[in-house]
């Protein structure tokens, strides 16, 4: 009886990782022009890599990225010489993470009739956009005393076994 079919595949036989999978990082100064710069860089990267994201899903991801970088520019610039931006695309999810040096952990502010401010609801928008797409978002502390705010959205055409729920809120 031939048992060679039971053996694991040889490394040379492993399937190649698609070009759209990976993690990409860059830093930006905490200035207003960094918001569109981050958005254009990530959108162009996802297009060049042919990530399986529809125009609607890409728009949601760009909206989230814009809000997170804007928050870092507006609220963390004094303690942040550089804003870190990271995007990860795996077989099921597209992650975006924005890191700054400010220790404050923000939370989403719900709209109310008593609150007449037009600002302060960016994280509510991030949360709603992520949840509407079937993803999630969160914030975690960094070793340096700052924070990373992250959001994850499912891919439109997941490969392999489909993910049935978003990663846990404590995800990186």
Q: For the domain that residue 140 is a member of, what is the CATH number?
A: 3.30.565.10
Inside any domain, residue 13: no
Identify the three-state secondary structure at position 125. helix
Average pLDDT of the chain to the nearest whole number = 84
Inside any domain, residue 76: yes
Identify the three-state secondary structure at position 154. strand
Confidence of residue 129 (pLDDT cuts 50, 70, 90): very high
Identify the helix (H) or strand (E) that includes residue 137: strand 136-141
Inside any domain, residue 73: yes
Inside any domain, residue 140: yes
pLDDT of residue 5: 47
Inside any domain, residue 162: no
pLDDT tens by residue, 84-128:
999 999 999 999 999 999 998 887 656 555 555 555 678 899 999
Total domains in the fold of the chain: 1
Supply the range of the domain harboring residue 129: 30-154
Inside any domain, residue 166: no
CA atoms of 90 and 51, how far apart (whole Å): 10
pLDDT tens by residue, 29-68:
999 999 999 999 999 999 999 999 999 999 999 999 999 9
Contact 79/13 with Cβ under 8 angstroms?
no
Contacts of 143 (CB under 8 A, 6+ apart): none
């Amino acid at each position: 009886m031939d048992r060679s079919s039971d053996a694991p595949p040889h490394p040379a036989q492993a399937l190649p990782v698609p070009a759209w999978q990976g993690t990409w990082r860059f830093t930006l100064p905490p200035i207003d022009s960094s918001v569109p710069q981050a958005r254009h860089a990530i959108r162009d990267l996802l297009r060049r890599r042919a990530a399986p994201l529809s125009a609607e899903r890409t728009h949601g991801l760009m909206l989230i990225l814009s809000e997170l970088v804007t928050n870092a520019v507006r609220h963390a610039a004094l303690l942040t010489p550089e804003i870190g931006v990271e995007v990860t695309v795996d077989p099921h999810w597209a992650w975006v993470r924005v890191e700054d040096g400010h220790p404050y952990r923000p939370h989403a502010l719900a709209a109310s009739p008593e609150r007449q401010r037009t600002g302060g609801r960016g994280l509510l928008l991030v949360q709603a956009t992520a949840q509407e797409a079937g993803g999630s978002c969160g914030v975690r502390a960094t070793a340096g005393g700052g924070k990373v705010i992250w959001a994850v959205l499912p891919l439109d055409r997941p490969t392999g076994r489909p993910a049935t729920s978003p990663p846990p809120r404590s995800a990186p």
